[in-house]
Chains A and B, each alone.
Chain A
Amino acid sequence: MRTSFVFSEVVTGLRRNVTMTIAMILTTAISLGLLGGGLLVVRMVDKMQANYAGKLEVSVLLTNDVSANDKDCTQQPCAGLRSQLDQTSGVKTVVFQNRDEGFERFKRIFEAQPELLKLARPEAIPATFRVSLEDSDRTDVIKQAFEGKPGVKGVDDQGKFLERFFEGLNGLRDVALILALIQAFAALLLISNTIQVSAFTRRVEVGIMRLVGATRWYTQLPFLIEAVVAGIIGAVSAVAGLVLFKAFFLDRITRNLTESGIIPPIGYLDILLVSPWLFLVAIVISATTGYVTLRLYVRL
């Protein structure tokens, strides 16, 4: 097999259908970019779940009355609530955080958003028991036992909030993957179409090749490689797109959330780890589509 010959055929083929080739590359790139985005969300959710595992707290928020008048939790009902919490089975630690401490913490989390801080008043922050559990799935016990008790304004379950957040992220992932699938279908049709056009424009060459006894591989390989090369260029563009998306968009809008540790940042390493999958998918899909097209639609 003369590789130089095959590759010169590939280059000629790609150049000859340059508009189709570009369409094919762009569609592939967008499809793979969305797939990559979906995979990044998966990684992010995994990281978050690992981050928060065992660290989830239940916050027992105290009423305004208690928050304002009992800074050290020495009076009733605060002191009583604390001892009840301490005695509840499954509770690891109970930390009392009064209104001022709460406000300090709030200021720390949102220091990047001075507008928000300007609006915030300490009176809006209730004094809180931050309760960590041995089993973070068993937050309902606290909720049931303490909600509605005198001095308790409400019980806030971080787990519930996080669940909703994960649901949101998973929804985002699903949308990305569904769009990726639709685009992949479009890419598939384009690849198939491009090969058929390519085979048609080269029918004289291919006819001669068959006639002088070129093997099936020799006649078909250029078309197949053409599809795979376009797929690989698509994958490169998709990875580049993800890097640019991260650098110029994602980093900006999520800076506050990542700096305060609420969500883990998506790093270039994550993109690097996702990209082999994009290349693999690009190669497998373009090669399979190419092969099937040549088998079914092109008589070579």
Chain B
Amino acid sequence: MIRLEHVSKVYKTSTRPALDDVSVEMEKGEFVFLIGPSGSGKSTFLRLLLREEVPTRGRVYVSNFDVAKMSRRRVPRLRQSIGCVFQDFRLLPTKTVAENVAFALEVIGKPRNTIVKVVPEVLQLVGLDGKEDRFPTELSGGEQQRVAIARAFVNRPLVLIADEPTGNLDPDTSQDIMLLLERINRTGTTVIMATHDHGIVDSMRRRVVELSYGKVVRDDARGVYGVGR
């Protein structure tokens, strides 16, 4: 599903590689925590999957895409098969909840009748039915993140990438978001989540890939955040 082979990434502005000879494989339907301190290479890892960056060395595969080698023209196809959620939600403040979700489909040219059908479905899935016409500013942080998850999932991606999705949320709300991500994972979607949240990682007991100075230093099938931290 996702495979990195001896991937290194060196940014022009830095002498130390952000990723250093990383080889990882993730299966379809897996739930993977990507952990490590700031600057350990988590974001670079995720950006490589999305082809926001190209690796300096090595190969990156997502589904059938040879991500590092593919032409620019095909990048949208790759991104349509990956959903993204961020710490800062990235909702459009001038659009309602339903419009924010519909936006993701509109800009990839989905027909209107598909949009009016699937948007309510996904809003129900994330537990926001009844709040379709609210604006993001009228919602709590947890609700905003649900909108972002709905937007990421509405096109039924193969992979959902979550970059510290609970970073701005209190523990209870974070738990709710994790339940939602688990539910999405159960539909067969691979979930990769970068996080600093010990509690969540420890309670979920899922695969943990730990990065440090750009290297994979740990890969546990049912891991915890770390001992003695």
Binding site for B on A (CB under 8 A): 1-2, 5, 204-205, 207-216, 218-219
Contacts and interface: CB of A to CB of B under 8 A. Distances in A.
B78 A5 contact: no
Interface residues of B, number: 23
A204 B94 CA distance: 11
A211 B84 contact: yes
A85 B155 CA distance: 94
B13 to A, nearest CB: 17
B90 A207 contact: yes
A212 B104 contact: yes
Contacts of B112: 2
A214 B90 contact: no
A12 to B, nearest CB: 8
B61 to A, nearest CB: 18
B34 to A, nearest CB: 18
Given A208-B103, A210-B79, A211-B50, A218 B109 contact: yes
Contacts of A210: 79
A213 B106 contact: no
A212 B78 CA distance: 9
Contact of B76 (A2, A204, A215): A215
A205 B100 CA distance: 10
A203 to B, nearest CB: 11
Contacts of B76: 213-216
Interface in B78-126: 78-82, 84, 90, 92, 103-104, 106-109, 111-112
B77 interface: yes
Contacts of A219: 107
8 A-B pairs with the lowest CB-CB distances in the bound complex, closest first:
A213-B80, A213-B79, A214-B107, A213-B76, A212-B104, A209-B107, A215-B76, A5-B106
Nearest to A5: B106
Nearest to B94: A12
A149 B72 CA distance: 85
29 contacts: A2-B109, A2-B111, A5-B107, A205-B92, A205-B103, A207-B90, A208-B92, A208-B103, A208-B104, A208-B151, A210-B79, A212-B79, A212-B80, A212-B84, A212-B151, A213-B75, A213-B76, A213-B77, A213-B78, A213-B79, A213-B80, A213-B81, A213-B82, A213-B108, A213-B155, A214-B107, A215-B76, A215-B108, A218-B108
Given A5-B106, A218-B108, A204 B92 contact: yes
Interface string B40-77: 00000000001000000000000000000000100111
B109 A1 contact: yes
Contacts of A216: 72, 76
Contacts of A215: 76, 108
Interface in B121-163: 151, 155
B107 A212 contact: yes
B109 A212 contact: no
A210 B72 CA distance: 12
A212 B155 CA distance: 9
A214 B108 contact: yes
B79 A211 contact: yes
Nearest to A219: B107
B70 to A, nearest CB: 13
Nearest to B100: A208
A85 B111 CA distance: 86
B10 to A, nearest CB: 21
Most buried by B among A5, A207, A208: A208
Contacts of B80: 212-213
Contacts of A211: 50, 79, 84
Nearest to B50: A211
Contacts of A1: 109
A212 B90 contact: no
Contacts of A213: 75-82, 108, 155
Most buried by B among A204, A207, A212, A219: A212
A289 B184 CA distance: 45
B88 to A, nearest CB: 10
A1 to B, nearest CB: 6
